Amino acid sequence: MPTISVENYLKAVFHLQGEAEERVKTKALAEHLDISLPSVTGMLKSLADEGLVDYLPYRGALLTEAGRRMALRVIRNHRLIEVFLMKTLDYSWDEVHAEAERLEHAVSDTLVARIEQALGFPKFDPHGDPIPSADGEISRRDVMPLSVATAGMRVRVERVLDQTPEVLRYLDRIGLRPGGLVYVREVLSFDGQMFLTLNDEDVSVSESLAAKMLVTEVEPP
Amino acid sequence: MPTISVENYLKAVFHLQGEAEERVKTKALAEHLDISLPSVTGMLKSLADEGLVDYLPYRGALLTEAGRRMALRVIRNHRLIEVFLMKTLDYSWDEVHAEAERLEHAVSDTLVARIEQALGFPKFDPHGDPIPSADGEISRRDVMPLSVATAGMRVRVERVLDQTPEVLRYLDRIGLRPGGLVYVREVLSFDGQMFLTLNDEDVSVSESLAAKMLVTEVEPP
DNA sequence: CATAAAGATTAGTCTTGCCTAAATCTTTTA
DNA sequence: TAAAAGATTTAGGCAAGACTAATCTTTATG
């Protein structure tokens, strides 16, 4: 029964409302945070009272400007901590997420600013996720999911949307990390499932996994 | 009304019970934590129920072995974080305390172990406080407070027991930091107050400040 | 378009950690 | 050695944040 911080609620709303900024439903939050529906309703009311969320009963919630700022601050902390742990303590990209998840709430703004400076103001973290600047700006890139690639394409991995350590270790082993170059050998269906065969033909990924790999097309060498 | 963590209660008990391991009174804890007396009573009961503290009503509390382990873990985290911030991010010794105070509860054991290794297993932090090992061992040193030094003595500062940034900046300016060598020019009383004159005669410290400087005598050059 | 299913809120509890006021215990002092 | 002073605990409350059960609203479906 550990209590969930305001920051984590806001982070969840941010991620769930997505680029389209659709109202986040109570149910979605409850599942994401593994908490009961009434608890979410109650907290959304509090957050609305504090001006962090725009909440309409039965409709769901959106971040206000203040809420968005607070969410972005935590996300920025998280991503800079990830880069920092990899650079200074040789963490691997599958280990950093869990640690950053705990530290993101404890670091001060000035510590994060120093980390950012020491790292040379990186724009992306080890998973390719953009790092918001101190004043809330986020770099945009034109990417597509690997799952829409067609046979014969050559792409570069820009971003990986999964944080599961086992999955990340697998992806790293087959070269599917930010910066990795991939040749899409064939796209095939089997038993209702779609697969992509990559590079050596013994490397393949399911459609659902490919949907989490954001890539850009590159010219052949 | 931010709530005080169990770890901070245990840390407070550890510091207040001191080397002599005297029972810590409710009042001492209440003042140290800036909290009401009944709140402390209640929390000591909970901690006793959890086996972290040996509590006798009206008598005060002592850490149990489990409580001591938990307190030492947090203190170890704190001190290693301090060294780490100075070494990798150019923090000064007056800045690290506040930051470490927040991070000490959030770091994982494996992160701290990596930090310790990266730093080469330091035995003392920037203030000269000993860093407990992962299994709870603490280095001891034979030191005396500067306040008992006599005129003509040459001493080396080993440890500074104050964490106030302003005080630390002053001490650093006059060379009173761990490793610093000091010649005690004269010890004089004025208006009931005792002073020590050090090195150049325009540097002096009050007895109460000198009591917080732990030193060892050294041979003259 | 009516109604059932799914989703959300309200009502009512529980626990935790804090508080103040009152009662009680311990220590100090006269 | 007893009264006063000081420290501590007990009693009783409050707010936050979680839960379950019951009720209401929205969405989906026949």
Q: Which CATH architecture has domain A72-140?
A: Orthogonal Bundle (1.10)
**A171 phi, psi to nearest 5 deg:** -60, -40
pLDDT tens, residue by residue, A190-212: 888 888 999 887 788 999 899 99
Domain A6-63: which CATH class?
mainly alpha
Chain A 11-30 contacts with nucleic strand C (CB below 7 A): 25-28, 30
The answer for B204, left when phi > 0, alpha when psi is -120 to 50, beta otherwise, is beta
Residue A46's pLDDT is 98
Element (H, E) at B62: strand B60-63
Chain B 135-194 contacts with nucleic strand D (CB below 7 A): none
- Residue B221's pLDDT band (boundaries 50, 70, 90)? low
Instruction: Give CA–CA dist B80/B75, Å, rounded.
Output: 9
The one-letter amino acid at A18: G
Q: Which CATH architecture has domain B144-217?
A: Roll (2.30)
Of B75, B85, B99, B9, the closest CA to residue B47 belongs to: B9
Residue B3's pLDDT is 92
Domain coordinates in residue numbering, chain A: 6-63, 72-140, 144-217
Taking all residues of chain B, what is their mean pLDDT, rounded to a whole number? Answer: 95
Residue B8's pLDDT is 98
B6-63 and B75-140 share one CATH topology? yes
A134 touching B, CB under 8 A?
no
- What percentage of chain B reaches a pLDDT higher than 90? 86
Residue A221's pLDDT is 66
pLDDT tens, residue by residue, A18-50: 999 999 999 999 999 999 999 999 999 999 999
- Residue B209's pLDDT band (boundaries 50, 70, 90)? very high
Q: Is A12 helix (H, G, I), strand (E, B) or coil?
A: helix
pLDDT tens, residue by residue, B28-45: 999 999 999 999 999 999
- Residue B62's pLDDT band (boundaries 50, 70, 90)? very high
pLDDT tens, residue by residue, A17-26: 999 999 999 9
Query: Which of A102, A104, A117 should we substitute to test contact with B (largest number of B Cβ atoms within 10 Å)?
Result: A102
Residue reference for tokens 């393949």: A204
Contact A145, A187 (CB under 8 A): no
- Residue A84's pLDDT band (boundaries 50, 70, 90)? very high
Q: At residue B204, does pLDDT exceed 90?
A: no
Beta bridge partners of A216: A156
Residues of B in contact with A111 (CB under 8 A): 85, 89, 99
Instruction: Give CA–CA dist B39/B207, Å, rounded.
Output: 35
Element (H, E) at A63: strand A60-63
Q: How far is residue A131 CA from its own chain's centroid? A: 10
Instruction: Give CA–CA dist A55/A48, Å, rounded.
Output: 6
Domain over B75-140 is classified CATH 1.10.10.10:
yes
Element (H, E) at A77: helix A65-89
Residue B33's pLDDT is 98
**A80 phi, psi to nearest 5 deg:** -70, -35
pLDDT tens, residue by residue, B100-149: 999 999 999 999 999 999 999 999 999 999 999 999 999 999 999 999 99
